[in-house]
Each structure stands twice: as C-alpha cells, then as structure tokens.
Structure 1
C-alpha cells in the first residue's frame, strides 16, 4: 500500500489512526489484566516446584560431576566447588523471583501484543473476533508449554552437560589446572573491575538514556506520520504504534541490561590478569572496558565516534590475535564484516530460530516415516529412544544428524555460500541468520563441515557410506551386518568420513540441549509410533523387543545408490538448530 502524500493527508491519516489504536490498546490492557494473575500463578507454581524439587539433586550432582571430571585438575576442582556454591545457593532465590516477574510480564503483554497481531489475521469480518479471543487461551496454554520446556532444560539438558563433563577424557592426558600464584591478583583485579565499572557504566547508561528515549520517539513518530519503516503496511500500523507506547520500557530494559552487564565486564579483569600473568594489564583493562562500552553505546545510538575514556592496551602483543574477540575495535556497526559474500537474491529476511527448528523436525519426520515404512527403523529403535538407559541412538541422534547432513549435501551441490533449505530457495547466510548467540554456535561449525565435505569431492558410494554411518552409527551391530554402501578402500578416506560423521553427531547432541528440542523430539517419536501402528494395521506394538520383519534385500533397496540418492537430493528440509537436550543421548 502506498503511503499518503502531503502533510494534510498524513495528518488526517494520523487522526483516524488514534481512536483505532486506543481502542485496541484498551482491549489489550483489559485482557492483560484478566489473564496476568492466572498466568503468573500457573508459571510461578510450576517453575518454582521444578526449581525446588530438583535443587537438592542439582546440588549433589554438580559437585559429583566436578569432582569426578577427568579433564579438571585437583586445584581447579577446589576453586570451582567454591565458586559453584554461591551459584547453587542463590539459584532458587533468583530463579523464583525471575519466574514471578517473568510470568507477570508474559501474562500481561502476551494478550496485549496478540490483540494487535490479530489485525492481520483472517477475513475482515472476523478481525474483531480475533482481537477479542487471540491471546486468551493461547497465553494460558503457552504458560504450560514454558513449564514443560523449563523442566526439560533443568532435567535433560543439565544432566546431559554434567554427564559429558564427567566422562570427557583429557586430550593428550593433560587435564586443565589453575595457577595458584595468579589467583590473588586475579581476584583483586576482578573486585576492582566491579567497583569501577559498575558505577561508571551505570552513570553513563543513565546519562545516555534520555537521548535514546527522545531519538527513538522522534524516529517512530516520523515513520508514523510519513508511513515509513514499520508503518508502511496498513496491518502493521497499530502494532508499530504500540512500539511508540512501549519504547520507554525498551529504554529502561537497555539501561538495566547495561548495569547488569557492567558487573561481568568489570569482573573480566580477573580473567585478563590470569591469562596475561600481569596485574598491570588487569588495571589497563578496567579503564579500557569503560571506553569499549562508551564507544559501542555511541555506535548503537549513532552518536559521535570515539570515547572520552582512554583505551590502553591490555593484552600482550603476542596474544592479540589469540584474543581478538576481546581486543577488537568497536568503531562502527558496519565495521563488522561477514564471511558470506554470495549475491543477495532478494530482500534480506531474518529467519527465526523456531522456524529453523520446526523445519528440521519436519525433515526428521519425513525421513523417519519413510524409514519406518521401509523397515529400517524398528519398534525397538522407537522404544529405546524414549528409554533412560541410553538405548538405540538411531532416532535420538542418527535421524536428526541425518537430516542435517542432507541439508549440508544439498548446499554443497547447489554451490551455496550458506546453508540451503529444502525449498531450494531459502538460504541461511550470515546476513539473515537468527541473531541468536546459540544459533551462531551451531551455524559456524556447520559451515566448516560443509566446506570439508565440499573439499572431499565425495563420490556417490562415499556419500552413501557417510549417510549410512551418520544414521546407523548408534547401532554398531546393524552397521557391521549391512553389505551395502561399503566403506571406501582407502583407510584415510574412511577415517575422514567417520570423523565427519562423529562431528555431525556431536553437533546434534549439543543441539539437543537447546530449549524446546525435547518437546519436539517427543512429538516426533509419537508420530513415528503412529506411523508404525498404521503400518501394522492400526495396532500399537506392545513388545519393545518386537522387530519389523525385514529381509536383506530390503536393506539393500534402502541403501542402494539410486533410491538413496533420490531421497537425499531434493526432497529435504532444513535441519538447522534444534534445542533442549535429552539426557539419554550419548555418543561414544
């Protein structure tokens, strides 16, 4: 829709917008007031029960995992136990208070925002119904979903991380140890950093907050009157108008975020002192951290470059390259360059982590149903994926890793600079990937694996072998008994493919700890059980040791190069970034 032209047209459009916006705002506030207490009560009771119920187990298992960890030295274990004690004692208090505030905020703002989002839902005659109903039952339902996801994080993800810490072997037989002589200076530097950075950064943030408030309002009102930016489309006008009203809350959140981050920014001086073995460098960092924050906040607010604080060097020149992430200059936002330099085919639309996760599980469901129909996935595989004794990992690890591999292979064949999704159109690059630190942890390793696979120049037989290893490595006996897609004759090539498979499975295990993963994984297992019941004529398998009859020819047909490649070529979905962990997922 074209924006209005002329001052009078813009003013008239603004006058018509006000009663429309105020009506939606009042309706959303009424819904928020009604559902805020209920949602807050549900989330407070559910999450607090999880925190308090698992706290004794978390307390014991954290110490147990640290003390039995083979990669940690005795002195480091002692220091960690002391530091962890503070976290464990404060965890129930901080967790419950944060839960109460978060539950109240969600219960109020979710119905409010849903009211504005309802403007673009359905036909014109049903818009009012959506405005009244949206954000009511869905808010209550999602509060239970949050409790479920929080439980999965506290149970499956936590124990998965702790078990990995306890079983991980030190590389080259050398465990991590701490230098006791550097600890006193590091502790003093950390305390000084906190005492200096916390008040100074807090004052700087408060000093710049009025400028942020006025500049944000100026920009939003300018866009509203001129129908630019978020106000260009008619259905976005009420929702974008809400941004004007809530902008002060965004400013308050930015100030609070700066104050909280100043604690960690100042305490990082202890790390500098320990790494550089120099108390002087720690003092230099305390001063430089003020300049870093000042410069970065100026960039965000588009203020004058530079800082009034000095910025001394706090790293040894020989270590600058090793710590470039902390010593990099925060001059301007456009100084950050990305490695993906491929041509942009259209407008840059930032993808959302949940969309990527949904896409991955759709692909897992597609391949899982096909493998169940073919007989490659058995009832025992499905049942063992739900067990607590680390049963078959064909579904827990192999199937998601297989889906990720298909996306990587598709990207390699299309010569994509990023990760190409199943529609062969959407491409995840550094420009449009979700601005999520966790997503970045997975995205960069996947790009590295993609380049490694591209450099391998895999033949069809080698590609089929890699796919089979990724899918079936959780069941070594089945892998040994299969006579299809034989390993390469070259031992070096075979070792390289096995290493790629292990790395993919390791990334899948890390992704499985991401929030919401466990819930989606359980839904996938239920879907496969339904598919299995459908295949068996509607009867649910009662014996977990029951195995679908399959012949050797069926396996050969599944892994034959032609049929296998027909499934791996085009009909794939994006397996990007899954999340909350399954404690049972382990990789040898």
Structure 2
C-alpha cells in the first residue's frame, strides 16, 4: 500500500485511522482484562506444580551429577556444591513468581495483539475475527507454555546433566579452581556491584528523557509521513500502540539497566580470577562504566564518546582507548550511515522466521522418515522409544533431524550456495535474511563452517551415503554393519567422516534441549508410526494373498487326485478350513 502524498493527505489519513485504532485498542484491552486472570491461573498453577513436583528430584540429581562429573576436579566440585545450594533454594520462589508474571503478561498482550492482527491486509470477516481472535487461541497457547516448560524441566535438564555426568575431560585433565584467587575475585565482584549499580542507574536515568522524547519524535514523524513502521498497513496498529506504550519501554530500559549493572559489575570477579590480578579487576570496573555509556549512546543515537576512562583490563589485549573523554570506539558503518527506514523495513519483511525454519526441519523429518521407514532403516523399536516419556530414541529424536540437516548441507555444498539451501531449492538462508540474534548464530555459523568443510572434502556418492547413515545410526554401530555400506578407503577419511557426524549430532542435541523441539518432534513420531503400520499392513496383505493362493492350489490338487469324487471334495474342504483357521501357518 502506497503511503499518502502531501501533508494534508497524511493528516487526513491519520485522523481517519485514529478512531479505528482506538476502537481496536479498547476491544483488545477488554479481551485482555477478561482472559488475563484465567491465563495467569493456568500458567502459574501448571508451572508451579512442575517446579514443586520436580524440585526434590532436581536437588538430588544435581548433586549426584556433580559428584560423578569427570570434567570437574574435587575442589571445584566442593565449591559448586556450596554455590548450587543457593540456586536450588531460590529456584522455586523465582520460578513461581516468574510464572505468575509471565502468565499475566501473556494473558493480557496475546489477545490485544491478536485483535490488531485480525484486521490486517488480506483478512476476511474482520468484525467477527477481531472479536473472536485471541480468545481460545490464547487458552491453547497457555497450555502449550506449560507443556514446553515441562519439556525444559524434565527432558532438557536431564540431558544437560547427563552430559555433565558422563562427558570425559577434553585433555584428560579435569577442570579445577584456584583457591588462592577466589578471595580477590569475590572482593572485585563485590566492589563492581557496589560501584556499577548506582552509577549505571544514574546514567540511565539521565538519558531516559532523551530516549523518551526522541522515540516519540521518531514515531510521530513516521506516523504522519507513513514511513518506517507505518509504511505497511499491517504494521500500523502495532506502531501506533508503540507510541502509547513508549514510556513503558523507557521505564523497562531503565529497570533493565539497573538489573544488568549487577551482572556487569560482578563480571569483575571473573576478570580478576582469569587474569590473576585484582588491579585488572579494578580496571575492568571503571572500564565497564565506559562500555555501558558508549553502548547506550549507540542504542539511542546520542553523540559518540564517554566521560568514563577506558582502561586495559586484559594482559594480552590492547586497550581500545586509554584517555578519558576521548572518542569511543568507532561505530560500525550501520551507525554512521544508517539505512533509510523504508529500506530497513523491507529487509525486515523478507527476514526468515526461526520458527518457520524449525517447522521446515520437521517437515523434512517426515519426508525422509517415511523413506527410511520404508527401507527398514528406522525400526519399530526406534519409534516406540520415541513415544516413551521416560527415554527418547536417539535415532528419531537426534539422528533423524541431524540426517535432514546433513541433507541440507550437502544440497547447499553441491549448489555452491553462500548460505543454506532449503528443500524447495529456492529459499536460501544467508547472513542477510537469517533470523537476527545471537541465539540463532549458535547454530547457523557452525553449520556454515561444517558445510564448507564438507564441500572441501568433495565426498563421493558412497561416502555421502555412509555419512548419512552414520549420522542417523551413530548410537547403534551394530546396525551400520547390517546395511552393508561402503566405508571410506582410508582410516583418515573415516575419522574425518566420524568427526562430521559427531559435530552434527552435537549441534542437533543442543537444539533438542530447547522447548519447542520436543513438541514439534511429537508431531513427527505419530506420522512415522502410521507409516510403519501401513508398511506392516502391506506386508501382511501380501502374505495373506500368498496364503490364499497356496490354499486354492492345494485344494485344486487334492480334488484332482481324488478324481473329482465326493470324498475328495469333502477332504479338500476340511483341509481348507483347517488352513484358514490356522492363518496358513501349516503351509511351507
């Protein structure tokens, strides 16, 4: 939709839209107020029951895994046992309070946002949808939140603790803690909290009016000119809501700065311990104020520089700047020459959604899983283990998604793509359209490196097949031998492929610990079970038809041997009934 041209046209468009926006805001607010208590009750009760029910198990199993951990030395185990007690004691209180706040926020804002989405472009029946949307879907979403929380507290927790318990030290030497440097680190961390928290709070309060009025100026300017977030009609309600809620965003930024200052100052203990120097820890405390000041200036587009000195707090790293009140580290080009708001919005529209990519992964799991079930590579016991709530089959939960990711890596390497090519051979996930955020980078960047390494190896077709089956069945090496695969010619080549498989399985195992993974995997397992049932049904039908043909042939032969006599026909009939009753088990 093209924005209106001219001041009067823009003003008339704004005045004409304002009543609709206020009406939708009131309707969404009413729905949020009605649903908020119910949603808060569902999430808080569900999560609290999980927290309190599993808390004794978490306490016992945590100490058990720390005691058996081969990665940790004895002194570090003792220190962790003391520190983890505080976390375990506070966990029920923090978890229950967080569940109440999360339930209240989700119960209010989910119906509100769904009300605005109901009148977007391409929607039909807007009047009815803006009343209904966000009601039952929010209730269903609250149960989904509880379900995902159960997955985190049960499956993800035990997966992480199993790695801690059974993982071998990388160099055969466990991690240990230096007791002599702990007092200095604790002193530096305490001083960091005492100094950074009040100073960062004052700096954030000082900059909050600037952030408030500059944000309002930018949003109102975009609203009148239909630019930036107001360019597309579907984004107008949310951008208009941002104008009203912008003071809350500023307050949230100040509170977030206060909370983050605790961790920012406490990191001085880490610097002191790593560098074995209290002086460098004190230098970090002063430098952390400069880091926060410069970062906040970049966020709200204030002039560069900071009045706090930037000191060197690492022995092996040169300081970014040494003099006070000097220019801060140079901003990236994106800060110096920011793109137009129109172009930045266009880029954000084509940005891929991480949940869509995850959904695409499990669509691929269904497609490849169907073929693997038909080939007999995925067995009934794998699917039954995946259905179990106690244990989960590594073949289905880890091996199959890793197999699908490997297919994408091989497809991208053969197409000589810069990023990752999806199964439609059209969509490519690159650095420009990938989901933003460091969370996605944890998986995207290692996969790109792995793709380039696979491309450099120039694998043959037999080696690709071997690698695919190795990724799928690495937890069952005996089943790899049954498949009669052609292994690589040399031991070095085999070791390289084993390393690829381990890394890919490690990435997939890390992905499996996040909440939505198991819920989406739960949709794949019944599909594979149905495919297995179809396969078994076809085999039984084929065996049944063969049995019927054998019976008819034997009856015909017996009748012919009795020369068509009545006795021969009666004997044949009796034997036929006997075979049918025994399901043909007596036929060789």
Q: TM-score scaled by structure 1?
A: 0.85
Q: Aligned partners of 2:539 and 2:56: how far apart in 1?
A: 42
Over aligned residue pairs, what C-alpha RMSD do you find? 2.2
Higher Cα radius of gyration: 2
Q: Any conservation in 2 of the 1:369–1:531 contact (CA below 8 Å)?
A: yes
> Which residue of the partner structure matches residue 571 of structure 1?
none
Larger RCO (CA within 8 A; separation ≥ 6): 1
Q: Aligned partners of 2:185 and 2:233: how far apart in 1?
A: 56
Q: Any conservation in 2 of the 1:121–1:130 contact (CA below 8 Å)?
A: no
SS in structure 2 at match of 1:172: coil
Q: Any conservation in 2 of the 1:121–1:127 contact (CA below 8 Å)?
A: no
Greater displacement, 413-422 / 60-69: 413-422
> Which residue of the partner structure matches residue 500 of structure 1?
500
SS in structure 1 at match of 2:118: helix
> Which residue of the partner structure matches residue 146 of structure 2?
147
Q: Aligned partners of 2:253 and 2:329: how far apart in 1?
A: 18
Measured at CA, do residues 235 and 317 of structure 1 come closer, stay the same or move farther in structure 2, by a change above 3 Å? closer
> Which residue of the partner structure matches residue 32 of structure 1?
32
Measured at CA, do residues 423 and 391 of structure 1 come closer, stay the same or move farther in structure 2, by a change above 3 Å? closer
1:292-327 superposed Cα distances (whole Å, 9 cap, x missing partner): 000000001111111111111101036989xxxxxx
Structure 1 position 417 matched with structure 2 position 440 = no
Q: TM-score scaled by structure 2?
A: 0.85
Q: Aligned partners of 1:121 and 1:227: how far apart in 2?
A: 16
> Which residue of the partner structure matches residue 550 of structure 1?
none
SS in structure 1 at match of 2:387: coil
> Which residue of the partner structure matches residue 104 of structure 1?
104
Q: Aligned partners of 1:175 and 1:380: how far apart in 2?
A: 37
Measured at CA, do residues 112 and 347 of structure 1 come closer, stay the same or move farther in structure 2, by a change above 3 Å? closer
> Which residue of the partner structure matches residue 370 of structure 2?
369
> Which residue of the partner structure matches residue 311 of structure 1?
310
Q: CA deviation at 1:369?
A: 1.5
Q: Any conservation in 1 of the 2:293–2:306 contact (CA below 8 Å)?
A: yes
Measured at CA, do residues 119 and 471 of structure 1 come closer, stay the same or move farther in structure 2, by a change above 3 Å? same
> Which residue of the partner structure matches residue 200 of structure 2?
201
Greater displacement, 389-398 / 225-234: 389-398
> Which residue of the partner structure matches residue 288 of structure 1?
287
Q: Any conservation in 2 of the 1:296–1:331 contact (CA below 8 Å)?
A: no
Q: What number of residue pairs does the alignment pair up?
A: 524
Q: Any conservation in 1 of the 2:290–2:307 contact (CA below 8 Å)?
A: yes
Measured at CA, do residues 41 and 283 of structure 1 come closer, stay the same or move farther in structure 2, by a change above 3 Å? same
Q: Any conservation in 2 of the 1:299–1:331 contact (CA below 8 Å)?
A: no
Measured at CA, do residues 331 and 292 of structure 1 come closer, stay the same or move farther in structure 2, by a change above 3 Å? farther
Q: Aligned partners of 1:307 and 1:55: how far apart in 2?
A: 46
Greater displacement, 235-244 / 275-284: 235-244
Q: Aligned partners of 1:537 and 1:174: how far apart in 2?
A: 54
Q: Aligned partners of 2:240 and 2:359: how far apart in 1?
A: 30
Q: Any conservation in 2 of the 1:24–1:115 contact (CA below 8 Å)?
A: yes
Q: How does 1:27-106 map to 2 (within 5 A)?
A: 27-106=27-106
Measured at CA, do residues 103 and 347 of structure 1 come closer, stay the same or move farther in structure 2, by a change above 3 Å? closer
Structure 2 residue ranges without an equivalent (≥5): 321-327, 337-343, 541-588
Q: CA deviation at 1:178?
A: 0.6
Structure 1 residue ranges without an equivalent (≥5): 322-328, 338-343, 541-588
Q: Aligned partners of 1:382 and 1:408: how far apart in 2?
A: 26
1:105-160 superposed Cα distances (whole Å, 9 cap, x missing partner): 11011100110011126544x01111001100000100000000001000000010
> Which residue of the partner structure matches residue 2 of structure 1?
2
Q: Any conservation in 1 of the 2:120–2:233 contact (CA below 8 Å)?
A: no
1:331-362 superposed Cα distances (whole Å, 9 cap, x missing partner): 4254799xxxxxx9x94632222111111101
Structure 1 position 436 matched with structure 2 position 437 = yes
Q: Any conservation in 1 of the 2:118–2:133 contact (CA below 8 Å)?
A: yes
The structure with the greater share of residues assigned to helix is: 2
> Which residue of the partner structure matches residue 331 of structure 2?
332
SS in structure 2 at match of 1:297: helix
Measured at CA, do residues 172 and 238 of structure 1 come closer, stay the same or move farther in structure 2, by a change above 3 Å? closer
Q: Aligned partners of 2:429 and 2:392: how far apart in 1?
A: 34
Q: Aligned partners of 1:285 and 1:200: how far apart in 2?
A: 14
Q: Any conservation in 2 of the 1:10–1:226 contact (CA below 8 Å)?
A: yes
